[in-house]
A and B are shown apart, each in its own frame.
Chain A
Amino acid sequence: MIFLYSDDPIVACSSGSQANAAIAVIRISGFESLSSLNNFFQLDLSGPIEPRRVYYTKLVLQGHFIDDVCLTYFAGPRSYNGENILELSVHGNTLNIDRILTLFTTHAGCRIAQPGEFTYRALRNKKLTLSQVEGLDLFLNANSNFALDQGLSLLSGNLHDVYQELYDLFLLHKSSLELLIDFSEDIGEEAARNYFLESLSRLSHKFVSLEKRVLPLDHNLICPEVVISGLPNAGKSSLFNFLLSDDRAIVSPVPGTTRDFLGEMIFIDGIKFRLVDTAGIRESDDLIENEGVKRSKKKLTEGFFSILLINPFEMLPTFETFRSSHFDLIFFTHRDLPGFDEAVASVITSHPWLGPTGAIDLNFPPADFEISINQKINEKYLRLVQDKPILLSRHRELILTASLKIKEYQILAVSETDVGVLSQELSFLGHCVSELLGIVSPDQVLNSIFSNFCIGK
């Protein structure tokens, strides 16, 4: 999708129109003057209307009363996206919303906004920077408090300022290199060399601090997932239901009951996690089950917190699949069955890579079991977010690429005598840094950003 839209006035329901509610907010943006909408309100819009003040009035069409509304006018350029905006609070019945939207599209020359178009206009009018737009996206779609906070931080421009600092340091270093080439005779070889090294150390220092905010994050923290894995009939769905305190998953003694993974939201100390129950990993002739197994294996690598359950009485060769994954918790289940200790000992002997394990009877779990699991999940989460990791994958990739480049460059800066070559390497680095500031080709970024927006935002 490329935003080569016309500048027509646009309209949309900004508060979501999927379900009935008491109030809905409808926004119209980009109209020439208020008087062009005068026919639709009892209030005289061609008279003096004070911006950013709420007026109560009636919405009418050709003399027919449509709805009671509260109306607020934001005059461009001092509005969210720099255009004239009219915001209507209307009654939130979905039929009512549809009727009002149709009124504006058929009688007022508006068209329905494309997803993200309000914000796109804000970007166009320099009301928001690219990273603020990304922040808004993160903020509106956040699944955790941390993502919410980071979205807010991006939105207020904090992270952008960090990038701007980085860019300035890059320019400083770049100019010191040019100084070395074009002016070393004027200022002296040694002085030029010193500028060069000093500015490089400042730049790499900045990179190191930024890289810390990217590195520890090999999980998706925007929507952190707690993944339960194991062979068939290990008790995964029992644990899933137990943690959900709900009979969401079908539990049966028949192995392979869960054929695809299931996901449900849980809250632990106010943080939202997605709990995922996976299909037991086994060889099967069932096409659908095999697909489920494949998808479950993928989940295993994506999870932020992984729990492995082992039924020591039903081991399969496919158990080796788990060897390559990291688990935060490992439990032996079916503790109530006779011969449990011997069975566990035998599994541990033949799989010495397992590390520390626990044991649990999922039919009668101890009282503090849930609390202790939740605590472990929460601890890990807090540990990961304490360095304020950067969540947006576009930023993360750029920072990682740039960090890698600056490390290579630092080595080159001492070993390479050809300054022309050095300067070329530095400009490669420069592209990454300017991409962080949003100086990038449009196809790369905008599509992904704006396609994530709900209509009307």
Chain B
Amino acid sequence: MFDVLIIGGGHAGIEAAYISSQFNLRVGIITMPGIGLGSAPCNPSVGGVGKGQVVREIDALGGLMGILADKAGIQFRTLNESKGFAVQSSRVQIDKELYSQEAETLISSVPNIEVIREKVEKVSKNEDGFFEVLGKSLYTTKKLVVTVGTFLNGRLHTGSDQTSGGRVGCDKSVGLSELFSEVKTCPNRFKTGTPPRLHKDSIDYSLLEEQPSDPSVRNFHCMHKPLERLAPQVSCYLARTNELTMQVIRDNRERSPMFNGQIKAVGARYCPSIEDKAFRYPEKHVHHVFIEPEGLSLETVYPSGISSSLPQEVQDEYVRSITGLERAKIEVYGYAVEYDVVDTTFLRMTLEHFSIPGLYFAGQVNGTSGYEEAAGQGLIAGANASLSVLGKEPLILSRHDSYIGVMIEDLTSNTRDEPYRLFTARSENRLYIREDNTILRMCPYRTALGLTLPLDHYQAQFYSSYFILNDFCDVTMIPESSFILREMSGVGESQQLVKRMSVSELLRQAWLNPITALSRVLESFGISLDIDLVRTVAISKKYDGYIKRSEDHLEKVKKLDGMIINWEKISTSPNVSFECRQRISRIRPETFGQLKLIEGIRPATLAVVAARAL
């Protein structure tokens, strides 16, 4: 009998297993034979705008993703580097082979995780309330976490060829409807796609723009040395489509499953296929194509930005129309996959299903896209399954201090029309949910789990040091007419302070880089501290004032957001549009704030509700 059994060994599944194992429970992963753990079937990268924050949140909560990404990271970048600390995010290209190997090594080193490589035939709940999972043998478990990705009634498309399955080269898995008749799936199927993979030696890199790895990007795992690289570094390259490329695609409209009606599922607007780009923006011909290495010893590269489900010969033609790719050899053709997703409004914030206690869902099966989103949910589902076994308080992250919290609230409070991806824009508290202060934000959650691993000791120390340095900044005064190096505006020229101020106040000055400024101040006192700690305090100080102002300003809005509303009355009012009514009765918002979060609610409806008219 398992305490927690996980179906699926992808990014959600391994996080669920790894966090569960930390509670000393008996944990199992049952995964399809032939697929390595933590494999990366789509783009070979981890992190990105908003997603970098998620990876660090996972890491600080005791997850795997940061550790694996550092070990398999072959090109590091900071996105939005020039746009301020709040919106900066790290992204790392991974060697997908190495990533999966590291996942296998790490998971197999954990004695209380058993990996079962069998295809699941049947799942049921017995009269004792335990789940029974039938593979080659029968497994029973107290809690079940389902992380089956795109394998729910998955169907692959390349041109007019169609096959069943969740991924190219993999066996199909059973429909969820056969597993749990009570679990509601969304009426609309989702769609995702992947580009053709090119042979890395068939590309003329001299015609492309090189993007080398940035040595100043910090590792994801908080206990790795921040700037140490654990794998050899390589470059990415930037190519661009042209008029000819787009013409090839436009000439083959009738052969595209997306546009001839063969695929009915909904793809993400933010992750358009090359067909989407061609037909939705007919006046635009130049689109970015990032050539990303898939691995140090793999022969293929991933051309990000040209995913497609066109027939193979059309893929050959449009790829070769791109400068630098004239002689490109396609190793694996692009395809689209359609799949079922769970209706996440039936999930609690713990990701447990409302009507089937003990059953948890995480990852792409919940209608999200991206490895990071999947991993974040996996961790939350796994932790809560374990906490529930132990009879402890659940782990629920707030949307005010984490992107994982934003994601889970968005998912559980809303039915999605398209695959869900995190953007920084989804957060109301972007200035606070940053990469640099992740430990500060996550430490209270991690502490509440009651674990005593090395990570916990590291964080506890970091957390208390933070407040000591924070206080130091508040009480230490910088004398008037001190010289401070101004750095934000170009050359390093000294500026004299016109008045005496505290270090905290100094760090808020717009004309300096708070990190170097705080480092210099500490140096002048002969204090030497962990640079990550200095970074966190310095950047937090810089944003303190803004965050305070925002809170003050939002006070009025918050008051309105907290107003209790009667959704039943609104959803039956003949004066609210049919579409709004449907959404409201599905989501059942209890406050004005929740109502506002629902997609597609019109200002007119909000105005009427705000006026307490309903």
Contacts and interface: CB of A to CB of B under 8 A. Distances in A.
Interface string B401-436: 000000000000000000000011100001100000
Contacts of A263: none
A438 B604 CA distance: 8
A128 to B, nearest CB: 10
B604 A421 contact: no
- Quick one: which of B50, B553, B575, B607 has the most chain A CB within 10 A? B607
B94 interface: no
Given A185-B288, A420-B83, A437 B575 contact: no
Interface in B560-582: 560, 563, 573-576
A181 B425 contact: yes
Interface stretch (B84-92, B98-106, B468-476): B84-92
B587 interface: no
Given A434-B603, A446-B611, A181 B575 contact: no
Contacts of B573: 125
B486 to A, nearest CB: 14
B550 A424 contact: yes
B556 interface: yes
B606 interface: yes
Nearest to B510: A416
B531 interface: no
Given A178-B423, A181-B425, A183-B270, A77 B607 contact: no
A439 B576 CA distance: 16
B150 to A, nearest CB: 22
Contacts of A77: 574-575
A417 B83 CA distance: 6
A416 B85 CA distance: 13
Contacts of A101: none
Given A124-B614, A126-B575, A424-B550, A180 B423 contact: no
Given A421-B431, A438-B610, A126 B604 contact: yes
Given A181-B87, A420-B431, A421-B84, A130 B611 contact: yes
A369 interface: no
A441 B560 contact: yes
B597 interface: no
Contacts of A127: 575
Given A130-B611, A420-B431, A437-B607, A182 B83 contact: no
B589 to A, nearest CB: 15
Interface in A335-392: none
A431 B555 CA distance: 12
A440 interface: yes
B611 A182 contact: no
Interface string B251-285: 00000000000000000001000000000000000
Contacts of A120: 613
A181 B83 contact: yes
A420 B86 contact: yes
Given A124-B608, A125-B575, A188-B288, A418 B559 contact: no
Interface string A418-456: 111101100010010010011111100110000000000
Nearest to A434: B603
Contact of B608 (A123, A164, A185): A123
A442 B612 CA distance: 7
The 9 closest A-B pairs by CB, nearest first: A418-B84, A420-B86, A124-B613, A126-B575, A438-B607, A419-B83, A178-B425, A182-B423, A441-B560
18 contacts: A123-B613, A125-B613, A126-B604, A130-B611, A178-B424, A181-B49, A182-B423, A183-B270, A188-B288, A419-B84, A424-B430, A424-B549, A438-B607, A438-B611, A440-B560, A441-B560, A442-B610, A442-B611
Interface of A: 2-4, 77, 82, 120, 123-127, 129-130, 164, 167, 178, 180-188, 416-421, 423-424, 428, 431, 434, 437-442, 445-446
Interface of B: 49-50, 79-80, 82-87, 270, 288, 305, 423-425, 430-431, 488, 510, 546, 549-550, 553, 556-557, 559-560, 563, 573-576, 603-604, 606-608, 610-614
Given A77-B575, A123-B611, 13 more contacts: A125-B573, A126-B608, A164-B603, A167-B603, A178-B425, A180-B83, A417-B84, A419-B83, A419-B86, A419-B87, A420-B431, A437-B603, A439-B606
